[in-house]
Amino acid sequence: MVIKLDLELDAMAITGESHSQFHVLAVDDSVIDRKLIERLLKTSSYQVTAVDSGSKALKFLGLHEEDDHSNPDTVPSVSPNDHQEVEVNLIITDYCMPGMTGYDLLKKVKESSSLRNIPVVIMSSENVPSRITRCLEEGAEEFFLKPVRLADLNRLKPHMMKSKIKNEKQGDQEKLEKSEIQSEQQKQPPSQPQPQPESQPQPQQSPLLQQPNNNKRKTMEEGLSPDRTRRRYNGITTMV
């Protein structure tokens, strides 16, 4: 896979496993955590690209921060149809990063017309309910507490499948539109979500509060599943 991007990426690993269907972009400023998430993802048979900052992540995705969407004269640096040389099926990012936080990155992705369909997962070493709510409301699919375990990654696949199906539908629709551009046939109903900040892919445009799936709230509720009892600061009082 040849990627023609002019970047200086310290820790970028692209696997060439052609049998892996899904490509995950991992973002974390910590060397260890980046290594860990990369290993976890590869063990789960995903292709992985790991970068150490939000701005590098955006560059990799083809979105440049200097873009001013409100200025019509600016040549957009990403055009949805032909820039996707690298298809990213999921972004998993640390929350606490210098410069652009994971939350900032999430916002930028969801504000971008070309990237908003990509599911985003946030990781954090701190269990802060308000932080979690904020991220989920901004469109994050999941919020993982660190250290992330292999079992956590099982929750990623449904999100990636949904977005892949959607991309394929969108791709088909675009091909169809191109081929029918001269005809007077009616357009197919749009298969992509409405242009709202809402990232829920389901036809129901219900706000986040109404999710049937409560799994993503796992860190908010007290009752974590038994095999994930998290003794964060487990009462060993080190007196100083």
List contacts with another protein (CB under 8 A). 30-33, 35-36, 39-40, 43, 96, 125, 146-147, 149-150, 233-234, 236-240
Please, which residue, 32 or 75, has the CB nearer to another protein? 32
Question: What is the C-alpha to C-alpha distance for residues 106 and 143, in angstroms, rounded to an integer?
Answer: 12
How near is the Cβ of 225 to another protein at its closest, in Å?
15
Q: What are phi and psi of 35, to 5 degrees?
A: -60, -40
Cβ closest to another protein, residue 178 vs residue 228 = 228
CB of 9 to another protein, least distance (A): 16
The C-alpha atoms of residue 131 and residue 124 are separated, in whole angstroms, by 9
Q: How far is the CB of 31 from another protein (least distance, A)?
A: 4
CA 163 distance to own-chain centroid: 10
Tell me the residue ranges of DSSP E strands in 80-227.
Answer: 90-94, 120-124, 142-145
The rounded distance, in Å, linking the Cα atoms of 226 and 89 is: 30
Q: Could you give the CA distance from residue 221 to residue 134 in angstroms, rounded to a whole number?
A: 15
* 3-class DSSP state of 143: strand
Identity of the residue, 35 or 162, whose beta carbon is nearer to another protein in the bound complex: 35
Q: How far is the CB of 159 from another protein (least distance, A)?
A: 22
Nearer CB in complex with another protein: 213/229: 229
Residue closer to another protein, measured from CB, 136 or 145: 145
Contact 93, 123 (CB under 8 A): yes
Question: Residue 56 CB, nearest distance to another protein (Å)?
Answer: 17
